[in-house]
Amino acid sequence: MAFRGVGAALGRASQFSRIGDYLETANDEICLIVQIESRAGLAALDEIAALDGIDGLFIGPSDLAADMGHLGQPGHPEVTAAIKDAFDRIGKAGKARGIMTLSLDQAHMYREMGADFMAIGTDVTLLVSATTRLRDDFLSGWKERCQAGCRLLISGFR
């Protein structure tokens, strides 16, 4: 048997100690979400969703697309159809349906398909986007003042 640690002060789940009664209430609020990322996972989805204790099923569209032969194409029509079918089956099982996407358009589509929760974006893509915007904003004024031969390096971008 395993036990959950009580070092919650450093944990995201406790909002870094902002939830005063976290240790007393965490067990009642924990949910178990399993991830489906392959055709084999889709084939076993109904059996997985029927298991007691599973609260939700999360579809990994990029890995699913790769497993389906559509590497780098999580929006491929066959992948989208498989996700829609999975969401329908998860919903019939009375479980929460989740998914990950980097695209707002896909996020809206997944919500219309029945997604109950989503991860939209990642820490890395958001950081890259913010640093690129910062660099571009800075350079828009810098280039006008820069003489030939000026070089500037910001956050690893030239």
C-alpha closest to that of 81 among 56, 102, 109: 109
Does residue 157 register a pLDDT over 60?
A: no
Which range, 8-17, 29-38, 88-97, 131-140, is most confident? 88-97
Query: Residue 18's pLDDT is what?
Result: 86
- Eight-class DSSP state of 49: H
Compute and round to an integer the Cα radius of gyration of the chain. 22
C-alpha closest to that of 86 among 46, 33, 34, 32: 46
Query: Residue 143's pLDDT is what?
Result: 64
How far apart, in Å, are the Cα atoms of 40 and each of 14, 27, 65, 116, 156? 35, 31, 13, 23, 41
The angle that helices 104-113 and 77-92 make with each other, rounded to 10 degrees, is 40
Does residue 121 register a pLDDT over 80?
A: yes
Type of residue numbered 113? M
Q: How many CB atoms within 10 Å of residue 117?
A: 12
More confidently predicted of 146 and 19:
19
What whole-number distance in Å separates Cα of residue 9 and Cα of residue 124?
24
What whole-number distance in Å separates Cα of residue 45 and Cα of residue 43?
6
Q: What is the pLDDT of residues 86-109, one digit of tens each?
A: 999 999 999 999 999 999 999 999
Q: In the beta sheet, which residues pair with residue 35?
A: 58
